[in-house]
């Protein structure tokens, strides 16, 4: 056993020195390898953390949202529907919500206006998301003026700015009082945007939704678990698409690795010939080459992964910013909580280390079967 470990140690020692001796050649490979890992890991960490953030946000949202449909289009919800729902077993809370969108021509951006449930605001008070504060350049105590649906000017005093923690969702949020909201958009007092229901037991959600569709034929229930599931599949699907697109570069990398591994220099061939002549066995050479591959792979993998980690979690995924910026004028600054799991690492391993290893098997073998007496010819 000890012999086995010592033998590997000698082989690793030799491999390290031989990598060092051919630094230029190996550096090129390492660079390309690291780049591939970096790209894939960035995509992976980024979409994964987006999905996680979305999940965290939805965690606190109600189990069921009920919307009214008129001629297949979303319409305002009459307040009396709340009474018509009555008492459904399993529903712990039900409430009407008021929210909507508002286009601000001054900065050409869309805001989301909402009436908060847990916050009492005065007639002229407003709470804004960090994104709005940034684009409009306002702070607590400043005033914002908007034109309402019937052309009147409404002036609001900013009393608070929402925390930047979950900026992905609240960057463009404006919170106003119920009275102001109805006045601003001209919505009658007996109408809501939609109704939300809280269901304590997750296994009852479907049953409740079924009852609602019977009770209110013109309403459509939207389940939180369904939203979550859609998010999940959309995010993994997107990730998949990106990986397919990157498939070309992985293939290029594989060919590059194959070429590097099979195109041994005369110097290297001679070296392997010497090793075989002085008593190294074919499997010793294979093992030595295996360690070489492992060292290169491990270095590239760690380096690429750490760079991607820094890029996504501390560099705000700067490379993906242009893609994301297409979303809206109010671009949320993105600070996801660092998060890594075994699935991602294992998947990444199969997209990078595995192809590299497969590409080098045959070249390694070909190098290792050099005739031991080749150096004598």
Partner 1 sequence: MLLNPAIMALIGVSAVVALLLLLAAGFAIQVMRHWDIGSGSELQLNLERRTYLISTILSYAFVAELVSLLLFVYNAEAMSTQFVGAMCATGVLNVDPWGWPTLFLKIAVFFAGGVWLILNRLDNQGYDYPLVRVKYALLLAIVPLVIAEAVVQAAYFLGLNPDVITSCCGSLFTPESEGVAAEVSSLPPRTAVTALYASAGLALLSGLATLWRRGAALLFAGSGLLAFMVALVAIVSYVALYVYEHPHHHCPFCILKSGHDFVGYYLYIPLFAATVLALGVGALAPWRRIPSLVTAAAVDIRRFTWLSLMGFVLFYAVATYAVVTSNLTMQGVWW
Partner 2 sequence: MIELDDVKKAFNQGRPNEFWAIRGVSLRVDANRITVLKGPSGSGKTTLLSMIGCLSRPTSGRILLRSRILSGLPERFLTEIRRKTFGFIFQQFNLVKGLTVLENVMLPAYPLGLDHQPLKEAALKLLGQFNMESKADSKVEWLSGGEAQRTAICRALINDPEILIADEPTANLDTRLSREFMAIIRDLKQQGKTVIVTSHDPVVFEYAGIDTVVEMRDGNLAEA
Task: Return the number of the residue (71 or 266) whose C-beta is nearest partner 2.
Answer: 266
- Let me know: does 237 contact 47? Beta carbons within 8 Å: no
Q: How many residues interact with partner 2 (rule CB under 8 A)?
A: 33
Query: Taking the complex as a whole, how short is the minimal distance between the CB of residue 262 and partner 2, in angstroms?
Result: 21
Task: Return the number of the residue (5 or 70) whose C-beta is nearest partner 1.
Answer: 5
The one of partner 2, partner 1, none whose footprint includes residue 236, by CB under 5 to 8 A per kind, is partner 1
The one of partner 1, partner 2, none whose footprint includes residue 10, by CB under 5 to 8 A per kind, is partner 2
> How far apart (Å, rounded) are the C-alpha atoms in residues 273 and 45?
45
> Any contact of residue 298 with partner 1 (CB under 8 A)?
no
> Any contact of residue 24 with partner 2 (CB under 8 A)?
no
Task: Give the range of 94-102, 186-194, 239-247, 269-277 binding partner 1 by CB under 8 A.
Answer: 239-247
Buried b / exposed e along 228-254 (16+ C-beta atoms within 10 A): beebeeebeeebeebbeebeeebeebb
Query: Taking the complex as a whole, how short is the minimal distance between the CB of residue 350 and partner 1, in angstroms?
Result: 4
Burial-class residue 265 by CB neighbours within 10 Å (0-12, 13-18, 19+): exposed
Angle, CA 89 vertex, CA 88 and CA 93 arms, to 5°: 70
> How far apart (Å, rounded) are the C-alpha atoms in residues 45 and 216?
42
Query: Taking the complex as a whole, how short is the minimal distance between the CB of residue 9 and partner 2, in angstroms?
Result: 8
DSSP designation for 326 = T
The one of partner 2, partner 1, none whose footprint includes residue 93, by CB under 5 to 8 A per kind, is none
**Widest CA span in the chain:** 99
> Any contact of residue 3 with partner 2 (CB under 8 A)?
yes
Q: What residues from 131 to 160 belong to the interface with partner 2 (CB under 8 A)?
A: none
Helices (H), the chain: 2-21, 23-59, 80-85, 130-136, 167-170, 178-185, 205-215, 224-262, 266-277, 282-309, 321-325, 342-368
Task: Give the range of 276-284, 296-304, 320-328, 335-343 binding partner 2 by CB under 8 A.
Answer: 276-284
Q: Which two tokens stand for residue 22?
A: 């051919």
Q: What residues from 311 to 330 belong to the interface with partner 2 (CB under 8 A)?
A: none
Q: If residue 156 lies in a helix (H) or strand (E), which one and from where to where?
A: strand 153-161
> Any contact of residue 111 with partner 1 (CB under 8 A)?
no
> Any contact of residue 282 with partner 1 (CB under 8 A)?
yes
Query: Taking the complex as a whole, how short is the minimal distance between the CB of residue 1 and partner 2, in angstroms?
Result: 10
> Any contact of residue 305 with partner 1 (CB under 8 A)?
no
Task: Give the range of 138-146, 170-178, 237-245, 302-310 binding partner 1 by CB under 8 A.
Answer: 237-245
> How far apart (Å, rounded) are the C-alpha atoms in residues 272 and 368?
7
The one of partner 2, partner 1, none whose footprint includes residue 368, by CB under 5 to 8 A per kind, is partner 1
> Any contact of residue 280 with partner 2 (CB under 8 A)?
yes
> Any contact of residue 236 with partner 1 (CB under 8 A)?
yes
> Any contact of residue 368 with partner 1 (CB under 8 A)?
yes
Q: What does residue 213 show for φ and ψ, rounded to 5 degrees?
A: -65, -30
> Any contact of residue 8 with partner 1 (CB under 8 A)?
no
> Any contact of residue 27 with partner 1 (CB under 8 A)?
no
Query: Taking the complex as a whole, how short is the minimal distance between the CB of residue 30 and partner 1, in angstroms?
Result: 21
> Any contact of residue 346 with partner 1 (CB under 8 A)?
yes
The strand pair at 99-104 and 153-161 is best described as unpaired
Q: How many CB atoms lie within 10 A of CB 292?
A: 21
User: From the CA atom positions of the chain, what is the Rg in Å?
Assistant: 31
- Let me know: does 357 contact 275? Beta carbons within 8 Å: no
> How far apart (Å, rounded) are the C-alpha atoms in residues 211 and 195?
15
Residues near partner 1, by CB under 8 A: 44, 225, 228-229, 232-233, 236-237, 239-241, 243-244, 282-283, 286, 341-343, 346-347, 349-351, 354, 357-358, 361-362, 364-365, 368-369
């Amino acid at each position: 056993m000890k012999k086995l470990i010592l033998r590997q140690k000698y082989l690793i020692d030799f491999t390290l020195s031989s990598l060092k001796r051919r630094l230029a050649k190996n550096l090129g490979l390492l660079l390309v390898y690291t780049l591939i890992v970096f790209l894939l890991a960035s995509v992976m960490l980024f979409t994964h953390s987006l999905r996680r953030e979305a999940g965290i946000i939805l965690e606190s949202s109600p189990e069921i949202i009920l919307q009214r449909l008129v001629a297949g289009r979303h319409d305002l919800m009459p307040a009396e529907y709340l009474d018509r729902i009555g008492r459904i077993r399993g529903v712990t809370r039900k409430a009407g919500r008021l929210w909507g969108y508002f286009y601000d021509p001054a900065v050409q951006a869309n805001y989301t206006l909402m009436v908060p449930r847990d916050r009492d605001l005065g007639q002229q008070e407003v709470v804004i998301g960090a994104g709005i504060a940034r684009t409009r350049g306002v702070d607590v105590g400043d005033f914002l003026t908007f034109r309402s649906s019937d052309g009147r000017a409404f002036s609001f005093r900013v009393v608070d700015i929402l925390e930047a923690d979950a900026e992905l969702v609240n960057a463009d949020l404006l919170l106003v009082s119920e009275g102001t909201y109805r006045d601003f958009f001209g919505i009658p007092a007996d109408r809501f945007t939609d109704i939300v229901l809280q269901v304590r037991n997750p296994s009852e959600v479907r049953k409740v939704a079924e009852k609602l569709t019977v009770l209110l034929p013109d309403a459509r229930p939207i389940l939180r678990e369904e939203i979550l599931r859609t998010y999940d599949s959309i995010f993994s699907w997107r990730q998949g698409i990106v990986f397919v697109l990157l498939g070309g570069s992985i293939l290029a990398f594989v060919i590059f690795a194959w070429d590097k591994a099979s195109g041994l220099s005369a110097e290297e061939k001679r070296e392997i010939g010497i090793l075989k002549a002085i008593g190294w066995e074919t499997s010793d050479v294979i093992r030595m080459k295996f360690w070489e591959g492992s060292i290169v792979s491990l270095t590239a993998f760690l380096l690429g992964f750490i760079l991607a980690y820094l890029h996504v979690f501390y560099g705000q995924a700067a490379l993906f910013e242009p893609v994301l910026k297409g979303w809206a004028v109010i671009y949320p600054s993105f600070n996801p909580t660092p998060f890594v799991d075994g699935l991602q690492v294992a998947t990444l391993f199969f997209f990078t280390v595995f192809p590299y290893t497969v590409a080098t098997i045959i070249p390694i073998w070909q190098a290792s079967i050099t005739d031991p007496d080749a150096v004598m010819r």
